[in-house]
Structure 1
């Protein structure tokens, strides 16, 4: 690893934090593997990055979207050339399976491809005028300097779906990634540097709470795009409300997959295993609740537990692994605490429920994939996000009760139904209080050209990953010209 990748990137230069402080980055699959020490930034570093972005803004805005798109296209080509390297880093740093990391790289490339294609569509409309010899039209302008605060679970794809539209819109940016995945974000920025992006257009500040708070507080920052937990997102919004800071917040989820009495149980089980235990359940759209009709409950659970019990937990780089470690010890403890709480509430653990311990495993953050039945619909496990490989199974007596239970939580990220009835499928889509909906397929993910969006407490502000994203990074203007 190049030494410069451990630093901040400000105004086109790799620089250490002013404080000289560093944070150790450790592989969650093997605590003996120390990836490196990365700079730990504070307010001074953030202010320098924002100043650099503000200085670069007039020139970058003046280039126009088609010219700006060329940098995204170049970055996509370079990412393709470095795909194996980047995927290996994601697995080492975040822990996910190498196959999942490769999928994340492909998703980031798709985001770049889609966003670059939007360059020729990023316009307004002409409108009729009320007076003679008058031309009326609308157009967009970038909002200015934006702060991009990204999480650790998709350390490449989520920053990319913030950086790409920010840059194409004409904004300049300061990226503040999770302190758990600093190397992946540094590689992202290095790729844009290789693509020839001018200095100051994209800046990187590594750090934790102090850096994030300074970014929100800086008056030159026009908007914050954040992906993470509900408490942090709420604090960001409240922290900038006094100055009307624009926010785009993608927050938590407690996503339900409904299994109706006419569902194809084999396909439903496959979808649950993928949605609940892929990436060890560390996705905002993860299937963390199965609401199953009591008429098919026992057969469904027999099939599900048979599959889950056979999933091998191990390092992401091991081809035999089917479940990766969670990202750190805090997530390990949170998952185990959720299991203990569910048992106190009357839930019965059908498989898993503890740490994965084997002689061939290095010391790391390994949690067994866990299925818990008889979970009360209003209990903590059925209501609150775990962000780990712990699945709650909730009983429902018919479709109407299943829909009521599915909508009983404060979140609304993803909703899924398995049914053979076309009528039920469309009714579920209509009734789900969630932003991303699925029928007879896994309830995770979305396409680069579809809105990645939640409802209720899962989302505030415009979606990401779609043409609707421009409603965050740009503002509308209208003009009337007499001639």
Structure 2
């Protein structure tokens, strides 16, 4: 009777939340400053991963709809936005930030219901998205070019100019944060944007765009929905999109890059990862175990830079592993609307099945599953895509669970004897997005940070991720950077101007 009552309470709370969501928006696409549906009238269902029930539908755009959205953005750029000053772009971004802050709780609820993130995590990520936009609003006015002192008879200087219309494709795991990473620098640099959110979690992107109404000229921000195979392909093939930025899997990123090459369009790619965390023998275990757990169990492991490979010195590997297992078993799987919940469901059934498959692969490869990897025995959660956080030991680097991105709450533990072996294990992957280092020795920190082939290095912690610093990977993990001033550079073209000066005469 108790479990049945708990199950009904979860269902009732989520149905109430979905009803609240329906009062906020119809969740059409956002093109030219107004809600827009597809000409085909087709739609895509987005579902609550806790109760496996529909939240709402969004338009299923086709190639013709994408072309119309790009044309709208292009017209806005050529008639209005191209002449807007940096000071005005900064002011408008700050105004949008203010509106988003006023609607923070609404956006957090949307993110929670659409992705399954615990409400506390969703709220923090919405705050992170707003802070990212605020950062680009602040640095927008500080952009400048160079005067080059080359010769006395020459005035030589550079100009940084926007591309015009840029295309952006974001993933389903951090919908609003990813939107801010794309729109912030693109708008600050002076571009109009056409952004496609993932079909599994498009709601916060649409709502954030709606909350820009009356702030930016119509057509600066355009959010289009649909399937990646149709909408994404139409975006990469459209020669009026002069810059593409994609965050997602390495396989799809490769396709985006190939398609963009047809029109000689530059790309920024933030792709997959299989990130190591090296734990040296002097590490403070209480701190480092938490860092390793946060790095793979936060957001149910659906994070590109997940620290999913713990590489631990042989002197402390047993002690470390015992503590990691204890930490994994401490996570509270439950309703994301409960403040005490620390792990929600995976975002969709496909990922749920993928993670289950990898756990079975790990067993078949001979790794030892020390804890987790099961569907929780809780009637209240039986309709959701829940998996208990898993820890594998007896793992070798040639195993698939040590090489392939799982994108779920699965940690592997390996041991090493020497510094050289630790670095070799860490770098023995096609990916290079992130890595962690656990040590109290400064010399180890700086040497390992230099020797590890990854774009992000976390020391004794997982995170934070701040908008001031560039975010990007090495090898198969991508090209270019989100965040930092580097992202502004990706959304601009540089022009050198040579002005030859005559000898002065009267």
**Interval of TM-score (by shorter of Structure 1 and Structure 2):** over 0.9
Counterparts in 2 of 1:254-273, with a 5 A limit? 254-273=274-293
Whole-angstrom CA distance in 2 between matches of 1:373 and 1:314: 26
Determine if the alignment matches structure 1 residue 415 to structure 2 residue 435. yes
- Structure 1 residue 322: Cα displacement: 1.4
- Asked whether the 8 Å contact 1:345–1:376 carries over to 2, the reply is no
Counterparts in 2 of 1:6-45, with a 5 A limit? 6-32=27-53, 34-45=54-65
CA distances 1:253-275 after superposition (whole Å, capped 9, x unpaired) = 10111111111111111111111
Give the match for residue 306 of structure 1: 326
Determine if the alignment matches structure 1 residue 480 to structure 2 residue 495. no
CA distances 1:158-215 after superposition (whole Å, capped 9, x unpaired) = 1111111111111111011100112111111012225x11111111110112011001
- Structure 1 residue 362: Cα displacement: 4.9
Give the match for residue 305 of structure 2: 285
Determine if the alignment matches structure 1 residue 74 to structure 2 residue 95. yes
From 398, 401, 406, the equivalent of 2:421 is 401
Whole-angstrom CA distance in 2 between matches of 1:270 and 1:204: 37
- Structure 1 residue 319: Cα displacement: 1.9
Whole-angstrom CA distance in 1 between matches of 2:130 and 2:45: 29
Whole-angstrom CA distance in 1 between matches of 2:24 and 2:100: 20
Give the match for residue 105 of structure 2: 84
- Structure 1 residue 119: Cα displacement: 1.7
Give the match for residue 54 of structure 1: 74
- 1:370/1:251 Cα in 2 relative to 1: closer, same or farther (>3 Å)? same
The TM-score with structure 1 as length reference comes to: 0.97
Give the match for residue 190 of structure 1: 210
- Asked whether the 8 Å contact 2:49–2:348 carries over to 1, the reply is yes
- Structure 1 residue 131: Cα displacement: 4.3
- Asked whether the 8 Å contact 1:153–1:282 carries over to 2, the reply is yes
Give the match for residue 437 of structure 1: 457
Give the match for residue 463 of structure 1: 481
- Asked whether the 8 Å contact 1:260–1:398 carries over to 2, the reply is no
From 433, 443, 451, the equivalent of 2:470 is 451
Whole-angstrom CA distance in 1 between matches of 2:137 and 2:164: 19
Give the match for residue 140 of structure 1: 160
- Asked whether the 8 Å contact 1:4–1:14 carries over to 2, the reply is no
- Asked whether the 8 Å contact 2:90–2:141 carries over to 1, the reply is no
Task: Say which SS state the counterpart of residue 363 (structure 1) adopts.
Answer: coil
Whole-angstrom CA distance in 2 between matches of 1:44 and 1:436: 39
Whole-angstrom CA distance in 1 between matches of 2:26 and 2:90: 25
Task: Say which SS state the counterpart of residue 426 (structure 1) adopts.
Answer: helix
Whole-angstrom CA distance in 1 between matches of 2:44 and 2:243: 27
Task: Say which SS state the counterpart of residue 213 (structure 2) adopts.
Answer: helix
Give the match for residue 124 of structure 2: 103
- Structure 1 residue 369: Cα displacement: 0.4
CA distances 1:132-170 after superposition (whole Å, capped 9, x unpaired) = 3x4221110001211110011110011111111111111
- Structure 1 residue 111: Cα displacement: 0.8
Determine if the alignment matches structure 1 residue 351 to structure 2 residue 371. yes
- Structure 1 residue 5: Cα displacement: 3.8
- Structure 1 residue 303: Cα displacement: 1.1
- Asked whether the 8 Å contact 1:147–1:221 carries over to 2, the reply is yes
Question: Any gaps of 5 or more consecutive residues in structure 2?
Answer: 1-21, 502-506
- 1:298/1:117 Cα in 2 relative to 1: closer, same or farther (>3 Å)? same
Determine if the alignment matches structure 1 residue 205 to structure 2 residue 238. no
Tell me whether 261-270 or 123-132 shows the greater mean CA deviation.
Answer: 123-132
Task: Say which SS state the counterpart of residue 221 (structure 1) adopts.
Answer: coil
Whole-angstrom CA distance in 1 between matches of 2:298 and 2:455: 20
- Structure 1 residue 346: Cα displacement: 1.0
Task: Say which SS state the counterpart of residue 20 (structure 1) adopts.
Answer: coil
Whole-angstrom CA distance in 1 between matches of 2:26 and 2:464: 29
What is the root-mean-square deviation of aligned Cα atoms in Å? 1.3
CA distances 1:243-292 after superposition (whole Å, capped 9, x unpaired) = 21110100001011111111111111111111110110111111111011
Whole-angstrom CA distance in 2 between matches of 1:423 and 1:5: 56
Question: Any gaps of 5 or more consecutive residues in structure 1?
Answer: none
The TM-score with structure 2 as length reference comes to: 0.92
- Asked whether the 8 Å contact 1:142–1:171 carries over to 2, the reply is yes
- Structure 1 residue 315: Cα displacement: 2.2
- Asked whether the 8 Å contact 1:5–1:186 carries over to 2, the reply is no
Task: Say which SS state the counterpart of residue 287 (structure 1) adopts.
Answer: coil
Q: Which structure 1 residue ranges, 4+ long, deviate > 3 Å from structure 2? A: 2-5
